[in-house]
């Protein structure tokens, strides 16, 4: 660079910095015709406020770049302990969803036969309040139900309080980032209604039993950050992946154990058997697992314990024959797992659940190596750091506390079926849907869809066109986290507790409202105490800030150094507040983007039993599992999956369906994010088209070529798809992406 150029460069920088501190940059006049007609004074006003990513329930803190009132960029917040400054593809695509051309501009109502028409918020609120009042005046309990997709945050906090005060327990939550069977498996084996947290920061070896570990599971940014940090450690984190498809996780693993499709659980139980036989399970661990030993029932009848049953049914040779994995590999994986310093097995999936007993087999692996409990790699969840509004507002009021049941199978169909089993007539008087993702791919011909269509009033909070809009009588578009105060209790992949908190970063660009505010306004219309204490979502936000400060632990987000410092102090039994007054605490939380306790309290004592196996455990869990039917027999604990079908040259025979969730497709609603469709490749560019991956050999047998259009036929229906031929999927299997697109979906979903 020449001297003159250097001086010019320096001068420009100095001006930029000076004006930047004043709150804006001089970036020169705009000539872009897209801005024609707007205010034009030659200056662009730039702000970079903190906000929360709404791409999934993980709760990453983000920093927006807003130029002249438009969001033009987004990046991770380096002080956030969840993302560590990272941003996944889905998080980056949030800007596309924010400016989605199919975003709903304001409330709409569906009049029978006349389509949608714009209504005012007042009219919409009166309609809902009227329906609820009518139900209340009939004397019976108000039959209102809510199905949410977001995690533990503002919406759920207010919805819980609302349901508690109207006396309705029907508040449901779709777990978009976790295996739908995880909750039932936790109730069955661990005796807890909350699935555990996996502490990747502690693990030295991860055994992935067909889990989408690096494809958007649990807390995508946090998992990526911890995996990267683990790889850079002096003793690098080792990853062994068991599965039949070359997924992104398999690709990045140190070892990919390719088994026959559907035999992953068999392999996990085979490994458990080797751990027991070779004495790789610790005595302490064995003492804390119920059901391993032979037992006698009340009538004096002898039953083989789990260990004996396992030895009889899962000899290494049998497992090798069924899974196609050589004996020597099974032994080697079991020994590596059993001897690792801090092993961790994970088996949850996002699509095509591992099932309750598949997850129980993975839990058994963790239990045998004594890795369930405080300071282990599988950590029972700490109670929420957030306050329940009903407790804060009216501590002594007799309230029905809604359980917030996670939906097994992640669909409303399961809820309806579960309620029918209990003898309740499922349709409610009023049903609130967070958006189309909670419908989990329901189609108008489905029984559950027909049942829903009988509900007198369905209210959707969808932001864009989706399946819920097709069903709803009223659509009240919600604001994004950028456009409102917001807090989310993060879903971490380590034993920490974190709550992302942010003020409104930008004024709403549509006539939308926070979902929480809709509930609070309804509470006011129904004269519920909730509205008196919390007239606005800002008050709810303030209550949570007060709560976090009152916990007297943790710290506002402040970066890795401060977090480590607080961790060291807390482990030594100390805590020093970073901000002593409420005002200072509020400022520190806003400057950091949230609050974190690096040493989350454990939800389990050191000596508690860690796993219960077999019939007795099943009986206990069946009593508490309202919605997941659990079989009574011990055999269910040792599932043997059906092997892939044999397909002959004329196409006869059946393929095994292997659903998977491509990275970035987590949480449905992908069609309004065209950049995410690019990840899926040319087959779906422009508009979403589902594809099917199959082995090249199978393709040849059926005379198929890359890009051919086929129809997938199963007992549940048919679906069109584009063929992709690959060596990376086992023969006899068709791998189908799940979560890319739902009904409705706007312009990018239309093929
Ligand atoms: S992990 Fe979830 S919350 Fe975090 S950036 Fe990605 S989509 Fe957003």
Determine which residue's CA is closest to atom 4 belonging to ligand 1.
60
Phi, psi of 393 (to 5 degrees): -85, -50
34's tokens:
């897209």
Query: Residue 79 above 80 pLDDT?
Result: yes
Centroid of ligand 1 to alpha carbon of 261 (angstroms): 30
Domain limits, CATH 3.40.228.10, in the chain: 197-379+613-637
| Residue 293, CA distances (Å) to 183, 186, 241, 286, 304 in order | 26, 21, 30, 10, 7
Assign 412 a pLDDT band (cuts: 50, 70, 90): low
User: Shortest CA distance to 123 belongs to which of 532, 511, 530, 480?
Assistant: 511
Residue 488 near residue 153 (C-beta atoms within 8 A): yes
Q: Which residues line ligand 1 (CB under 6 A)?
A: 53, 55-56, 58, 60, 83, 87-88, 90-91, 220-221
604's tokens:
């389990």
Domain limits, CATH 3.40.50.740, in the chain: 108-176+384-597
| 255-294: pLDDT as tens digits | 999 998 888 999 999 999 999 999 999 888 898 888 888 8
Task: Measure the CA–CA gap between 425 and 445, rounded to whole angstroms.
Answer: 20
Centroid of ligand 1 to alpha carbon of 173 (angstroms): 18
| 428-473: pLDDT as tens digits | 889 999 987 777 667 777 777 888 888 889 999 999 888 888 889 9
Centroid of ligand 1 to alpha carbon of 661 (angstroms): 15
Centroid of ligand 1 to alpha carbon of 85 (angstroms): 11
Determine which residue's CA is closest to atom 8 belonging to ligand 1.
91
Contacts of 242 (CB under 8 A, 6+ apart): 207, 208, 209, 210, 257, 259, 264, 267, 268
DSSP H/E element including 128? helix 121-137
Question: What's 535's DSSP letter?
Answer: S
Q: To test the ligand 1 pocket, which listed residue (52, 60, 82) has its Cβ within 8 A of the most ligand atoms?
A: 60
Q: To test the ligand 1 pocket, which listed residue (50, 54, 55, 214) has its Cβ within 8 A of the most ligand atoms?
A: 55
Task: Measure the CA–CA gap between 636 and 313, rounded to whole angstroms.
Answer: 13
Task: Measure the CA–CA gap between 580 and 564, rounded to whole angstroms.
Answer: 20
| 106-117: pLDDT as tens digits | 999 987 766 889
Structural domain 197-379+613-637, CATH architecture: 3-Layer(aba) Sandwich (3.40)
Assign 16 a pLDDT band (cuts: 50, 70, 90): very low
Average pLDDT over residues 568-592: 91
User: Tokens 């029905």 belong to which residue?
Assistant: 400
Centroid of ligand 1 to alpha carbon of 356 (angstroms): 27
Q: To test the ligand 1 pocket, which listed residue (61, 80, 82, 87) has its Cβ within 8 A of the most ligand atoms?
A: 87
Domain over 656-749 is classified CATH 3.40.50.720? no
Centroid of ligand 1 to alpha carbon of 236 (angstroms): 25
With vertex at residue 636, the alpha carbon angle to CA 630 and CA 638, rounded to the nearest 5 degrees, is 145
Q: Which residues of 422-457 are buried (b: 16+ CB within 10 A; e: fewer)?
A: eeeebbbbbbbbbbbbbbbbbeeebebbebbeebeb
Determine which residue's CA is closest to atom 5 belonging to ligand 1.
91
Burial of 476 (0-12, 13-18, 19+ CB in 10 A): buried
Residue 87 near residue 63 (C-beta atoms within 8 A): no
36's tokens:
């024609």
Query: Residue 86 above 90 pLDDT?
Result: yes
Centroid of ligand 1 to alpha carbon of 77 (angstroms): 12
Q: To test the ligand 1 pocket, which listed residue (220, 223, 493) has its Cβ within 8 A of the most ligand atoms?
A: 220
**Residue 632: other Cβ atoms inside 10 A:** 9
Pairing of strands 144-148, 115-118: unpaired
Structural domain 108-176+384-597, CATH architecture: 3-Layer(aba) Sandwich (3.40)
Centroid of ligand 1 to alpha carbon of 91 (angstroms): 5
């Amino acid at each position: 660079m020449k001297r003159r150029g250097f001086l010019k460069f320096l001068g420009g920088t100095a001006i930029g910095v000076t004006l930047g501190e004043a709150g804006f940059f001089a970036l020169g006049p705009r000539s872009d015709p897209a801005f024609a007609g707007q205010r034009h004074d030659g200056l662009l006003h730039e702000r970079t406020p903190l906000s929360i990513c709404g791409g999934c329930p993980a709760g990453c803190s983000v920093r927006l770049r807003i130029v002249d009132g438009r969001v033009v960029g987004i990046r991770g917040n380096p002080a956030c302990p969840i993302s560590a400054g990272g941003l996944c593809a889905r998080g980056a695509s949030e800007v596309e969803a924010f400016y989605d051309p199919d975003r709903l501009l304001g409330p709409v109502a569906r009049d029978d036969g006349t389509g949608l028409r714009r209504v005012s918020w007042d009219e919409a609120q009166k309609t809902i309040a009227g329906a609820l009042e009518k139900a209340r005046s009939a004397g019976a309990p108000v039959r209102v139900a809510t199905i949410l997709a977001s995690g533990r945050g503002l919406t759920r906090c207010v919805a819980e309080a609302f349901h508690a005060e109207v006396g309705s327990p029907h508040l449901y939550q779709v777990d978009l980032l976790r295996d739908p069977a995880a909750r039932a498996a936790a109730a069955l084996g661990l005796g807890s209604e909350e699935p555990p947290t996996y502490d990747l920061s502690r693990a030295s070896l991860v055994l992935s039993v067909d889990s989408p570990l690096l494809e958007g599971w649990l807390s995508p940014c946090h998992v990526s950050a911890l995996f990267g940090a683990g790889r850079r450690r002096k003793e690098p984190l080792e990853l062994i992946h068991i599965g039949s498809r070359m997924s992104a996780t398999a690709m990045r693993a140190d070892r990919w154990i390719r088994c026959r499709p559907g035999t992953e659980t068999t392999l996990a139980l085979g490994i458990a058997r080797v751990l027991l036989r070779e004495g790789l399970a610790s005595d302490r661990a064995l003492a804390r697992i119920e059901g391993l030993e032979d037992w006698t029932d009340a009538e004096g009848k002898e039953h083989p314990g789990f260990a004996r049953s396992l030895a009889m049914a899962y000899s290494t040779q049998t497992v090798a024959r069924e899974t196609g994995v050589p004996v020597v590999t099974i032994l080697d994986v079991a020994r590596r797992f059993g001897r690792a310093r801090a092993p961790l097995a994970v088996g949850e999936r996002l699509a095509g659940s591992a099932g309750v007993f598949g997850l129980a087999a993975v839990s058994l692996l963790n239990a045998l190596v004594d890795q369930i409990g405080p300071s282990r790699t599988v950590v029972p969840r700490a109670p929420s750091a957030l306050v329940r509004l009903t407790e804060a507002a009216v501590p002594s009021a007799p309230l029905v506390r809604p359980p917030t049941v996670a939906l097994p199978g992640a669909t409303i169909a399961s809820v309806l079926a579960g309620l029918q089993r209990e003898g309740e007539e499922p349709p409610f008087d009023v049903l609130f849907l967070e958006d189309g993702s909670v419908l989990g791919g329901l189609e108008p011909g489905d029984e559950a869809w027909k049942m829903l269509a009988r509900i007198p009033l369905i209210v959707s909070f969808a932001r864009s066109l989706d399946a819920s809009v097709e069903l709803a009588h009223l659509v009240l578009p919600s604001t994004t986290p950028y456009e409102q105060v917001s807090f989310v209790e993060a879903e971490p992949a380590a034993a920490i507790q974190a709550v992302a908190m942010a003020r409104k970063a930008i004024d709403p660009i549509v006539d939308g409202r926070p979902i929480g505010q809709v509930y609070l306004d309804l509470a006011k219309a129904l004269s519920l105490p909730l509205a008196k204490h919390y007239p606005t979502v800002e008050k709810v936000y303030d209550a949570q800030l007060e709560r976090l400060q009152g916990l007297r632990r943790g710290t506002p987000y402040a970066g890795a150094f401060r977090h480590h410092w607080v961790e060291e102090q807390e482990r030594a039994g100390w805590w020093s507040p970073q901000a002593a007054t409420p005002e200072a605490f509020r400022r520190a939380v806003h400057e950091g983007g949230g609050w974190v306790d690096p040493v989350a309290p454990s939800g389990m004592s050191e000596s508690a039993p860690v796993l219960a196996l077999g019939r007795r455990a099943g009986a206990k869990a069946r009593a508490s599992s309202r919605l997941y039917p659990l079989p009574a027999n011990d055999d269910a604990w040792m599932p043997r999956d059906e092997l892939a079908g044999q397909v002959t040259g004329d196409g006869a025979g059946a393929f095994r369906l292997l659903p998977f969730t491509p990275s970035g497709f987590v949480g449905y609603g992908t069609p309004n994010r065209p950049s995410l469709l690019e990840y899926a490749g040319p087959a779906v560019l422009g508009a979403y088209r589902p594809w099917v991956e199959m082995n090249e050999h199978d393709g040849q047998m059926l005379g198929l070529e890359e890009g051919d259009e086929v129809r997938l036929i199963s007992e549940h229906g048919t679906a069109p798809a584009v063929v992709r031929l690959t060596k990376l999927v086992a023969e006899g299997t068709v791998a189908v992406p799940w979560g890319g697109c739902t009904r409705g979906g706007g312009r990018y979903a239309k093929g």
